[in-house]
Homo-oligomer: A and B are copies of this chain.
Amino acid sequence: MKVSKEKMAEHREKIIASAAKRFREHGFEGIGVAELMKEAGLTHGAFYGHFASKEELVELALERAMRDSTAKLEKVIAEAQGDPWQALAEFYLSLRHRKNAVTVCIFPSLGGEIARQPTGVRSAVTDGLQGILSLLGRAIRGKTEKSRRRKAIAAFASMVGGMVLARSTEDPTLSAEILEAVSEALPDIAASAPTP
């Protein structure tokens, strides 16, 4: 039942890709090794030939997810007609994203759990977060590098918190109201002058 090197590399990719989706959908504790392996078409015993532990997969899956969603944000900014922050708001704070955590930013769906993860995992998240913040900082006009970064942080925090709140209620009116309110505020946050 051995497979070729290429097949094995494909399997590894499939497992990480599945994990990156399912963790966002169910949380780190909401999906087990066995089911992730099943989704990749393998049995659970083969897992430990690929990874030392579930924790290692958590780390790799988060890196993958962050790389993907950062690339997506970059594309949205690059293709924006007019204010990139309006484009970011429409993309990130959409009804589609509220419903599907699977392929979207890790922070609204996994932020709380990440805070409880061991150092290796949190360290990987730090790298990804720095990447997002420097990407967003480049989409802000401001005098100093420092002020651009501060605005980028405040703006990204709004996006993440807005999605957390929109997802935490089952009332569709309130949920839509949250997405709209934050979307509307976002361009101002990204451009607002720092408090004197």
Chain A residues within CB distance 8 Å of chain B: 26-27, 29-30, 101, 107-116, 119, 122-123, 125-126, 129-130, 149-151, 153-154, 156-162, 164-165, 167-171, 174, 177-178, 180-182, 184-185, 187-189, 192-195
B122 with A170: CB separation less than 8 A: yes
A154 to B119, alpha carbons, bound, how many Å? 31
A165 with B156: CB separation less than 8 A: yes
Residue with the highest number of chain B CB atoms closer than 10 Å, among A123, A170, A181: A181
| Contacting residues, chain B, for A114 (C-beta < 8 A) | 167-168
A168 with B115: CB separation less than 8 A: yes
B156 with A160: CB separation less than 8 A: no
| Copies of the polypeptide in the assembly | 2
A114 to B107, alpha carbons, bound, how many Å? 14
The answer, among B161, B181, B189, B195, for a CB contact under 8 Å with A160, is B161
Apart from A150-B184, A192-B192, what 9 extra A-B contacts exist at CB < 8 Å?
A30-B116, A111-B164, A122-B170, A130-B174, A150-B181, A150-B185, A154-B162, A154-B181, A157-B161
Min distance, Cβ A45 to any Cβ of chain B, angstroms: 24
Contact flag A158-B108 (CB < 8 Å), given A129-B174, A130-B174, A165-B129: no
Q: Which residue of B lies closest to A25 (CB)?
A: B116
